[in-house]
């Protein structure tokens, strides 16, 4: 009996264009503005904008207005959604492929990687990222965080991380000037404003930007403010997961408490 072919998954059609594939590749490592994507892909701005629109319509790319300059927009690739959609494609070919998971890094990094997370006040986003990275990578990463201004670890950040089984109550806010001069394999800015003031990094240091909205800037009821911190923690946890896999320090393992 001839088995009817299943329809081609929409995600494969969406990615099957060289410009969209280039954009996804660039955004898989760092959030970018249109001008940066134009320079990186060497494509005309109207072409880049058009295909970004297609990726947004497909639910793969989201945009976020910069907190440093409201005229700027950062584009972010939803890696978790892309991961789920690509895994689901296996089942469209054969049922046994539906449960096949990617193996992640072929081998764990032999030497601890040094990762620094930066935000303005070092009070929430960068503190969360530091703690999540330590949780998932253990001794395979030396993780730290700092800010362009000294503040304190926000109580709501402490609370929502405790909900995930991560204790950051002993972490302290630190100035980036004291840390950024050291050697780091990767420096991740998790705040638009701190990206603008971050000192120039050595060429061997990989610079990544995550345009994560500041939960401390949200006003409203206590429940609304807590929800903003929970949303930030969820987004950062997902981003840390993929960064850890990319660096070869997590072995594609992810703990339930950090989801």
Q: Any idea what the Cα angle at residue 255 is, between residues 251 and 256, rounded to 5°?
A: 150
Q: Quick check: 171 and 131 in contact, CB under 8 A?
A: yes
Given the residues 179, 198, 201, 227, select the one marked as catalytic.
Answer: 198
Verify whether residue 198 is a known catalytic residue.
yes
Q: Give the chain's count of helices (H) and strands (E).
A: 9, 6
Pick the catalytic residue from 119, 144, 161, 247.
Answer: 119
**Strand bridging mode 186-189 / 113-119:** parallel
User: Active site residue: 27, 180, 191, 238, which one?
Assistant: 191
Cβ atoms of residues 80 and 160 within 8 Å: no
DSSP for 8-71, please give it: PPHHHHHH-SHHHHHHHHHHTTS-B-HHHHHHHHT--HHHHHHHHHHHHHTTSEEEEE-SS-TT
Collect all residues with Cβ–Cβ distance below 8 Å to 59 and sequence separation of at least 6. 78, 81
In the annotation, is 89 catalytic? no
Query: Which of 197, 189, 194, 211 shows the shortest CA–CA distance to 31?
Result: 211
Q: Is 119 a catalytic residue?
A: yes
Q: How many CB atoms lie within 10 A of CB 147?
A: 23
Q: So which residues are the catalytic ones?
A: 119, 191, 198
């Amino acid at each position: 009996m001839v088995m009817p072919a299943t329809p081609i998954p929409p995600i494969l059609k969406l990615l099957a264009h060289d410009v969209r594939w280039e954009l996804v590749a660039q955004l898989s490592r760092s959030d970018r503005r249109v001008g940066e994507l134009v320079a990186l892909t060497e494509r005309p701005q109207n072409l880049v904008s058009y295909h970004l629109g297609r990726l947004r319509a497909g639910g793969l790319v989201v945009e976020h207005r910069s907190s440093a300059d409201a005229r700027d927009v950062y584009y972010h690739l939803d890696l978790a959604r892309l991961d789920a959609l690509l895994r689901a494609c296996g089942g469209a070919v054969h049922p046994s492929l539906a449960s096949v998971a990617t193996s992640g890094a072929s081998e764990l990094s032999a030497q601890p990687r040094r990762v620094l997370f930066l935000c303005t006040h070092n009070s929430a986003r960068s503190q969360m990222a530091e703690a999540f990275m330590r949780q998932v990578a253990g001794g395979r990463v030396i993780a730290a965080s700092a800010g362009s201004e000294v503040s304190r670890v926000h109580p709501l950040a402490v609370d929502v991380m405790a909900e995930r089984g991560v204790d950051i109550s002993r972490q302290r806010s630190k100035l980036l000037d004291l840390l950024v001069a050291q050697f780091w394999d990767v420096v991740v800015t998790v705040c638009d404003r701190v990206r603008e003031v971050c000192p120039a990094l050595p060429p061997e240091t990989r610079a990544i930007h995550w345009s994560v909205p500041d939960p401390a800037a949200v006003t409203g009821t206590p429940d609304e403010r807590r929800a903003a911190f929970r949303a930030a923690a969820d987004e950062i946890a997902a981003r840390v997961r993929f960064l850890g896999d990319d660096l070869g320090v997590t072995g594609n393992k992810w703990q339930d408490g950090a989801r």
